[in-house]
Structure 1
Amino acid sequence: MAFLLFLLFQTSTAFLFDAPTTCWAPSSCKCQALSLECDGMGLQSVPMFPLPDKEYRRLTINLSHNMLTDLGNGSFTEIDSTNASVLILDFSNNQISDISPTAFDGIESMVTELNLQNNNFDVIPSAIGDLTRLQSLKLMGNPITTLKSQVIFSLSRNLKYLTLSLDKFSSWPDEMHYFRQLSRLEIDGYQQTRLPLNAFSNIERTLTYLEISRSQLDRIPSVVCHLDNLHHLAFYSNPKTSIPIFEPCSDDVTSVYYLSLRNNSLSSFPDIFSSFTKLDYLDVSENNIHTIDMNKIPQANSLTHLNLSSNGLNRIPYALNRLQHLKALYISNNKISSVEDFDLKNLTFLSNLNLDGNPIEYISDGAFRSQQALRALDLDNTKVTIIPRAITSLTSLQQLQMNGTPIQCTCTMDYLKSLKTNTTNISGVCEGTMEPLSVFIKDFLPFCP
């Protein structure tokens, strides 16, 4: 009991310490939990923040989506009195091109996250280098042409998360070599066709998350092979992507478990398992894949999540049956017109199947015979006119979505009388009457002969 009272006291004091008693935001802003929300207010300058009535451990100030053009001297003179150990500043989606050298006076040791995405910076302002505890810096969407060595060197001591657009750079910025702690890097707009082999020198062992988008690269650069602890790799929206998808690499990339190749205009399923041998999640959505060669999927694979949405598939590829550990399959917005008996026969661990947006007219009675673990089935916006008999074999089904699907609610679906699924978890309406399917199954079907 004494221990429980101690926990209650600790929780209560933390709550009283962090929760605001009154809203001390400027009139153009509002208080929300532990943040001051000043987004989308048409502000042309940083408002004056009145003296807070208490201290905060963590505080977010959101000034995104305004009309700010600069951050002047002492923009946050009163914020230092909060003694916040974590201060998050969001200036994204403004028109800022300049930050005064003293804009962050008094809060240099408080700011841990700074979001300046989608502004008008052509250089990284020197004032940012004075933020001694900055861990996250988002600069994507700015026309930056060069990196200042002194600023980058100052940031390199603590920075762990960086986003950056390279559209205006003539080559890979050498200043990236200053970083020592960087674990997450997102770059877009890189204009060269190859990435230097030493692009990530000094962060080969710290980088765990890498995203490359809107570049002129035609394949995943081989420098990725040298990133010993990389877990998340996204190579998406790169219009020149071709097959083979990976530059020659001497070693298997065994650390990557998440790979996204979304929106790369791929015309065939890439041979990725030969290089990424431990993949758990693969996203190849928004491409132009029509078929999958069985040889592209080895028997020995560990994939559990696959996203094939928004491609050109006319049917569920039989090759997917080699993915025997698959738990989630997203294959929405293709051209699939039917689901047959053997399409999914080996996917016995499948728990989530999304077929939304396909012109499916027919689902065979035995289509889901092997899916005893299936919990969620999405048939939204398909063309089936009855709730398929196949769902009666799904003993674990908890959610069935049929919104936007023209279900004809008649006694021909009397086989649903024995449905074990809770009907309240079936979403959609009867065509014409707009009666909820759950109501039809529960209240009308029992009276069918």
Structure 2
Amino acid sequence: MRTFLALLLCISPSEGFFLNDDRCFGVCSCYSNIDCDRKQLTAVPTFDLPVFLLNKDYTHMQTSLGLNDNNITSIPFGAFHNISKLNMPLLSIYLGSNNISIIHNGAFTGLESIDDVGIYLDHNQLTTIPLDLTRMTNLFALDLRYNPIQTVSGPVIAAMFASNEITRLSLSSYEMLKKVMEVQDNSLEYLVLDGMTTRKMDPGLFQRSKTVPLSSITIEKSSFDNVTEVLCNLDLNSLTISGCPNLGDNVLQGCPQTSLWRLTIYESNLTNAWTPSALYNSPIRYLTVLGKFDRVPTSVFRHWPNLQSLTVGSNITIIEKSDFEGLRELHDLNLRANPIHLIADQAFATNTKLADLHLHYNNDIHLTSIPSSLQNLTSLSFVELPNMKCTCTAMGGVKGWHADYVSGQCTNIHMGIGTYIETKLTLCP
């Protein structure tokens, strides 16, 4: 993309490509990608290119074309034909949050010269699956979330998967999900289920998917009351659950998963009664779990001694000595969602590889001094502290730290905590 940028900056306004130094295609910008988001467009630009650009080599570029948050209502025949002349290997076209209700036959004609194309049509007014998608052969990603799709044709979906190797799919229609799961030997790897109103997944919904490489599922803002079908029929590497009010402390019980290495749960109702027993034998290394925890769920974390990155919260006020005991591979610990006011001595005694520690809390000042438990973390390269009063007493335990290690602001003087440690703390008795 840098080559593309350099070329664009050499084009003079008189050639009709730029209107001024920071615009291309009329109102868009082309600094790192082609950005036409939020430009009050009512139609897709024509993307006219100067002739000399067409003779350049763009085969190394991976580019996104952003047309989100405009007022586009339809996609005409050959809308992206001119962009495709650059012959880049990958192009992601973002058309989310418009008012698109019509995609004309041949709308994506011309994109055949690009190896991989992603089309993102979320938050529009489509009532059927665009037939033009079945004519493509290079579609790798498709996002149809939050469209009022009323007609879901099994043959259309089958044809779409037959002609493309779609590895990423995002849906809000449960009926479409069922049709997709009926397609034998599809190439799905990443699936996003967002805004689904169905409470129960049909028995065997994912059973056929044992023959496909589906390894990552994200479930967002949906009404499902369990994920048994997911746990019992898929060997996942990554699972994300967000904003699903019916999925509580028993959400991850039942059929054991043994391959999951990334788990993300946020905007949840999880409490300290959370017992994800189905995952106890999974090699989880990256964990984010934000719920209503009032203390660190230590008994859960001990099942995953190889955790490397951990984010947990969001009502924890005290860090006990044993909370992270035994997590010897922990590199990144994020506690910034919590109003912590006390961290016990030796709280991180066994976390000898800890390099990044995040303790910042936006709402109030809770932690009043830098914990002594940080002193012996020899691998620590960055610590994010809450804003606090900087005094010799509060900072006394960290004399000798380099300022680059610390972020946060002194509340009693106009100075960063790192600067205070470097310049003022050395003068303390």
Instruction: Please give the alpha-carbon distance, in whole angstroms, between the structure 2 residues aligned to 1:312 and 1:172.
Output: 33
Provide the residue aligned with 1:190 in structure 2: 196
Alpha-carbon spacing, 1:101–1:408, altered in 2? closer, same or farther (3 Å): same
Aligned with 2:292: secondary structure? coil
Matched position secondary structure for 1:135 = strand
Unaligned stretches of 5+ in structure 1?
1-13, 281-303
Q: Map of 1:368-379 to 2, 5 A cutoff?
A: 368-379=348-359
Tell me the residue number matched to 2:29: 30
Deviations 1:129-187 (A, max 9, x none): 211211111111211123233432222122221111117x4x86435423522222212
SS at match of 1:373: coil
Q: Report the equivalent of 1:325.
A: 306
Distance 1:263 1:359, change over 3 A: closer
Counterpart position of 1:47? 45
Alignment of 1:286-365 (within 5 A): 304-313=285-294, 315-319=295-299, 322=302, 323-336=304-317, 338-365=318-345
Local SS of the residue matching 1:49: coil
**For the Cα contact (< 8 Å) 1:398–1:422, is it kept in 2?**
no
Shift of 1:201: 5.3
Q: What RMSD over aligned residues (CA atoms) do the two structures have, in Å?
A: 3.0
Per-residue CA distance 1:293-333 (angstroms, 9 max, x = gap): xxxxxxxxxxx3433434231x3345367354333332343
Is the partner of 1:137 in helix, strand or coil?
strand
The answer on whether the counterparts of 2:243 and 2:268 sit within 8 Å (CA) in structure 1 is: yes
Counterpart residue number, 2:14: none
* Structure 2 unaligned residues grouped into runs of 5+: 12-16, 18-23
Taking the aligned partners of 1:345 and 1:247, their CA distance within structure 2 comes to 25
Matched, 1:428 2:411: no
With normalisation by structure 2, the TM-score equals 0.82
Deviation, structure 1 residue 49: 1.9
What is the deviation of 1:246? 4.9
Q: 1:362 to 1:262 in 2, by over 3 A?
A: closer
1:343 and 1:88 mapped to 2: Cα distance? Answer: 43
1:181 aligns with 2:180: no
Match of 2:173 in 1: 166
Call closer, same or farther: CA 1:212–1:412 in 2, change over 3 Å: closer
Structure 2 CA distance for partners of 1:43 and 1:274, relative to 1, 3 Å:
closer
TM-score, normalised to structure 1, is 0.79
CA displacement at 1:256 relative to structure 2: 2.4
Call closer, same or farther: CA 1:109–1:356 in 2, change over 3 Å.
same
Change (3 A) 1:76 1:348: closer
CA distance in structure 1 between the partners assigned to 2:252 and 2:312 by the alignment:
24
- Matching of residues 11-410 of structure 1 within 5 Å: 20-21=7-8, 22=10, 24=17, 25-33=24-32, 35-52=33-50, 53-54=53-54, 55=56, 56-57=58-59, 58=61, 59-108=63-112, 110=114, 112-157=117-162, 158=164, 159-166=166-173, 169=175, 173-174=178-179, 176-178=181-183, 180-200=186-206, 202-205=208-211, 206-227=213-234, 229-242=235-248, 244-246=250-252, 248-249=254-255, 252-275=256-279, 277-280=281-284, 304-313=285-294, 315-319=295-299, 322=302, 323-336=304-317, 338-381=318-361, 382-404=365-387, 406-410=388-392
Change (3 A) 1:276 1:131: farther
* 2-structure distance, mates of 1:443, 1:175: 62
Q: Structure 1's 199 and 440: CA in aligned 2 closer, same or farther, altered over 3 A?
A: same
Number of matched pairs? 402
The verdict on how the C-alpha distance between 1:83 and 1:221 changes in structure 2, with shifts beyond 3 A counting, is same
Shift of 1:122: 1.1
**Which deviates the most, 72-81 or 37-46?**
72-81
Q: Secondary structure at the match of 2:232?
A: helix
The structure 1 residue matched to 2:417, chosen from 421, 437, 443, is 437
| Equivalent pair of 1:195/1:223 in contact (CA under 8 Å) | no
> What is the CA deviation profile of residues 66-111 of structure 1, one whole-angstrom value per residue up to 9, with x for unaligned ones?
1100012332343343334433322111110101113223334536
Change (3 A) 1:407 1:305: farther
Percent sequence identity is: 27
CA gap 1:348/1:92 in 2 versus in 1, 3 angstroms: same
How far apart are 1:16 and its partner, in Å? Answer: 6.0
- Say which SS state the counterpart of residue 111 (structure 2) adopts: coil
